[in-house]
Amino acid sequence: MKSLPKKQQQKAVELPTAMPLEAINYIMIALGALVIAGSYGIMFLEKEVDGFFALYVCPITLIAAYGWIVFAVLYRPKKNNS
């Protein structure tokens, strides 16, 4: 195949891409990760398999924190046009 002359060759122009997540998303993800780490830490400090925190409190906070992280990734703040 014959290559195109230099005048006809076009250079690919790279447009700047926007970040998929904003600062508020990263803050929300960090808060969720902090709650998850704290919940596991509380279970570690309790050192009982049948303890109150291990059976009742931590499972609820873990499920809520994982759900919060999913929400934080999907959250899109509204843009004001004013």
Structural domain of residue 46, as residue ranges?
Answer: 23-74
DSSP string spanning 49-62?
TT-HIIIIIHHHHH
Reply yes or no on whether the pLDDT at 19 is more than 90: no
Q: Of 17-21, 30-34, 59-63, where does mean pLDDT reach its minimum?
A: 17-21
Q: Does residue 6 sit within a domain?
A: no
CA nearest 68: which of 39, 45, 42?
39
d(CA 28, CA 34): 10
Does the pTM surpass 0.85? The reply is no
Provide CB contacts within 8 A for 52, sequence distance 6+: 46
Q: Does residue 55 sit within a domain?
A: yes
Q: Does residue 2 sit within a domain?
A: no
d(CA 59, CA 65): 10
